[in-house]
Amino acid sequence: MYKILRRKELNPTVTLLDIEAPLIAKKAEPGQFIILRVDSEGERIPLTIADYDREAGWVRIIFQIVGGTTEKLNHLKEGDFINDFVGPLGVPTHVDGLKKVAVVGGGVGCAIAFPIAKKLHNMGAEVHSVVGFRNKDLVILEDDFAAVSDKMMMTDDGSHGTKGLVTNALKELIESGEKYDEVIVIGPLIMMKFVCALTKEYGVKTTVSMNPIMIDGTGMCGGCRLTVGGETKFACVDGPDFDGHLVDFDEALERGSMYKPFERHAHEEACNLFAKEVQ
């Protein structure tokens, strides 16, 4: 059992939890993930590590409520326990030797982009972050990004920062002559796909963090497979980071929708369940 040390709602659909997991905190690196199970009957879900404190022994996760499991997770309080918490899994984001990087985050993906921006900043690299949200109510980690990078805030509707998509901002930066060693982009698949299309035009190396459906996270099941450069790769052990110019995003989008009806159903059921408990 793994104790929740801290809980904070970052916006109405995104929550931060610090979980007591000293062994994982000792080894975690930006870009890696954990798999958790809320209770003894729960499904296993992968979440990328958003931060960690090796001395205090906690690992931070930030998640968006999308299905029954995240709904249940969101109802736990500080002091409650999560049944299972395993990691750190996957290969850490490759940051060695990078001098100037654009970190692009979209929505809850910013939670994963942040520790990478922080690590790059601490290494002495110049970091430009481009973070995008649908509107101002969904903005998370604004101050955190500001502390470690030159930040550009984008919202789809212009209610905060600049109106437009992250691709608009990134294009402007590149066209204004910024030369990046690498662009690291984390967010919804569709956003990563379009960022990669853009950076390919300009020939800038781009890394994406993939978050497909996963069960064991150790390479055993193959559920998280992707096509990268024409080869089948497992996000859990070969990734989750891949060369964005080689990833078959259309296939990943299709595979990601496999259980959409089930997720919606589970989410609604969980909502009703909690509604009943409140009454």
Partner 1 sequence: MPNMSLKKNEMPSQDPNVRNKNFKEVALGYTKEQAMDEAARCLNCKNKPCVTGCPVQIDIPTFVQHVAAGDFEAAYEVIAKSSALPAVCGRVCPQESQCEGKCVRGIKGEPVAIGRLERFVADYHNENCTEKPVKPESNGHKVAIIGSGPSGLTCAGDLAKKGYDVTIFEALHLAGGVLVYGIPEFRLPKAIVQKEIDGLKDLGVKVETNMVIGKVLSIDELIEEYGFEAVFIGSGAGLPRFMNIPGENLKGVYSANEFLTRVNLMKAYKDDSATPIMKAKKVAVVGGGNVAMDAARSAKRLGAEEVYIVYRRS
216 lies in the binding site for partner 1 (CB under 8 A): yes
Nearest-approach distance from CB 278 to partner 1, in angstroms: 21
Interacting residue with partner 1 among 37, 136, 160, 245 (CB under 8 A): 37
**Judged by CB under 8 A, which of 173, 197, 263, 267 binds partner 1?**
263
Under 8 Å CB-to-CB from 265, ≥6 apart: which residues? Answer: none
Whether 262 contacts 271, CB under 8 Å: no
Nearer to partner 1, 254 or 268 (CB): 254
Strands across the sheet containing 45-53? 81-82, 2-11, 14-20, 58-64, 45-53, 33-37, 84-89
Nearer to partner 1, 78 or 269 (CB): 269
CB 74 to partner 1: min, Å: 15
Subset of 52-71 contacting partner 1 (CB under 8 A) = 68-69
What are the phi and psi torsion angles at 158 (to 5°)? 75, 10
- Report the alpha-carbon distance of residue 51 to residue 28 in Å, rounded: 9
Rounded CA-CA distance 21/86 in Å is: 9
Q: Which residue's CB is nearer to partner 1, number 24 or number 130?
A: 24
- Residues in contact with partner 1, counted by CB under 8 A, come to a total of 41
Q: Give the helix ranges, DSSP H, for the chain.
A: 22-27, 68-74, 110-122, 142-148, 166-175, 189-202, 235-238, 249-256, 260-278
Q: For residues 137-176, which are near partner 1 according to CB under 8 A?
A: none
84 contributes a contact to partner 1 by CB under 8 A: yes
List interacting residues with partner 1 (CB under 8 A): 23-24, 27, 37, 41-44, 68-69, 83-89, 215-223, 225-227, 232, 234, 237, 251, 254-255, 257-259, 262-263, 266
